[in-house]
Each structure stands twice: as C-alpha cells, then as structure tokens.
C-alpha cells in the first residue's frame, strides 16, 4: 500500500482546546494566569471512571502500556486516547482515541467551533456558552504528511465528515499497523491556511502545559463570538 510521505517535525507550542465544562469564572481566570495549573484543572474537571478503567485494562485497540504516567498533565494525555466518541473522528475510530491539535490558536478555535456549531444546528438552537482551555505541547519526529495532497484526491481531507471520517480512519489504521506511524500532519478543513496534527502515540506529547482560556458564545447565529481570558 502506498502511504503519504513523512516530514521531520519540530513543532513547538501546538494547541489543543478542551472544554472546561462547568468551571466558574474566578477559577478560569486563576488558571489562565497560572501556566502550571494542569493538575488543578484536572481535579476541577474531575477524573472519569472510563479513563481509569482504560488505564488499567486498555481498550479494544489500545494497550494500557501505551499510556503515560508520572508526568505533568498525563491525565489529559491519557483521556485523549481513552475517551472515544461513537463513530470516531477524522483519524481514529471508537476503539482508540487520538490527540488532535493545531499549529495556532485560530485554527484550534475554528476546529472546535465547527463541531459545536454542528451540535447546536442539530437541535435547532444557536444558544450556548462554552469555555475552552489551551493545552500546549511540543512534537518532534517523523510524521506522515498530507499537507501537499490535493483534497480532491484524498477523501480523508473532505469537509464532509460522512466522507472524511471513514476514509481517514481506514488510512490511520493502516498507517499505525503497517507503517508504525507517529501520526499525520494535515491541512485544516475548517480554516484556510490552518495546519492540524494528530498523533497516535501518547508518549510523543512533550512538555504539556496550560495556556489561556477562550470563551465561545453563540447568540442566535451559527457564528460564535470569541474572547480570550488573559
């Protein structure tokens, strides 16, 4: 099988956004000011039984020995691989999660806002306020690279999840199983000139730390208002 080419990546300060759930405003401001507050945020977000169980026994396609322990933010790293959604995502199925991030905040915001907007559209009501915390990490090593691939020739990059997800999941599975892939660099489908990264290996997420807090607010339209807590 012909696989995409690889590129040697040295990417610092990639950004993954996670919902802060029901955290209160004063807590958010404290966390935004404290860039070492990962464990505080983890405690406030709560630890789910699902992640704990997966850390002990794994998932259908995830050996628990692949997970990481004893490093700052390891609960967030492991959660990305053990919390899966029905039907999976672009480059992972429901048997194994993955770590998705972007090379800049604008792209990360575009990606998460797209998915939450779709959920609001499904209920016919664009009324929502969600806060997201930045998880910042560095990546080094070879990654399969789809940035120079024509979207028309690569269904995994299609803007329509119904087309992209089955193709992307099949590609990712083959890359993991047959090419021992670290992950994929790819152009964002939600922001022009944006770049995303998915890694299949928990140990590759280096120097994890917390950045700022972003508030996304929908007030009757599909386009949210975006503000940052500094």
Asked if the structure places residue 51 within a domain, the reply is yes
Asked if the structure places residue 47 within a domain, the reply is yes
Asked if the structure places residue 1 within a domain, the reply is no
Asked if the structure places residue 99 within a domain, the reply is yes
Closest by CA position to 137, among listed 106, 102, 172 = 102
pLDDT beyond 90 at 2: no
Number of domains in the chain: 1
Highest mean pLDDT among 5-14, 19-28, 56-65: 5-14
Distance CA 145, CA 142 (A): 9
| pLDDT, position 100 | 98
Distance CA 130, CA 125 (A): 15
| pLDDT, position 30 | 54
Residues 6+ apart with CB under 8 A from 194: 102, 103, 104, 106, 107, 110, 111, 187, 188
| pLDDT, position 22 | 40
Helices and strands in the chain, H and E counts: 6, 7
Q: Give 59 or 158, the one with higher predicted confidence.
A: 158
Average pLDDT estimate for 138-152: 95
Asked if the structure places residue 136 within a domain, the reply is yes
The range of the structural domain enclosing residue 140 comes to: 6-229
Token couple for 194: 């944006």
Average pLDDT estimate for 73-99: 92
């Amino acid at each position: 099988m012909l696989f995409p080419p690889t590129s040697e990546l040295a990417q610092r300060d990639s950004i993954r956004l996670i919902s802060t759930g029901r955290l209160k405003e004063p807590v958010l401001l404290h966390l935004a000011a404290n860039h070492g507050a990962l464990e505080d945020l983890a405690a406030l977000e709560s630890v789910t039984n699902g992640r704990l169980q997966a850390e002990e026994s794994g998932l259908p396609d995830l050996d628990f020995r692949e997970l990481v322990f004893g490093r700052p933010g390891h609960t967030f790293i492991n959660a990305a691989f053990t919390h899966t959604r029905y039907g999976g995502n672009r480059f992972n199925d429901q048997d194994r999660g993955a770590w998705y991030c972007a090379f800049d905040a604008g792209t990360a915001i575009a990606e998460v806002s797209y998915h939450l907007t779709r959920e609001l559209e499904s209920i016919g009501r664009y009324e929502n306020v969600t806060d997201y915390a930045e998880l910042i990490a560095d990546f080094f090593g070879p990654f399969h690279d789809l940035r120079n691939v024509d979207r028309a020739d690569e269904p995994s990059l299609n803007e329509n999840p119904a087309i992209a997800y089955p193709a992307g999941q099949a590609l990712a599975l083959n890359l993991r199983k047959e090419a021992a892939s670290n992950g994929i660099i790819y152009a964002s489908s939600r922001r022009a000139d944006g770049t995303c990264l998915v890694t299949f290996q928990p140990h590759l997420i280096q120097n994890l730390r917390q950045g700022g807090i972003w508030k996304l607010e929908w007030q009757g339209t599909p386009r949210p208002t975006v503000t940052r807590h500094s």
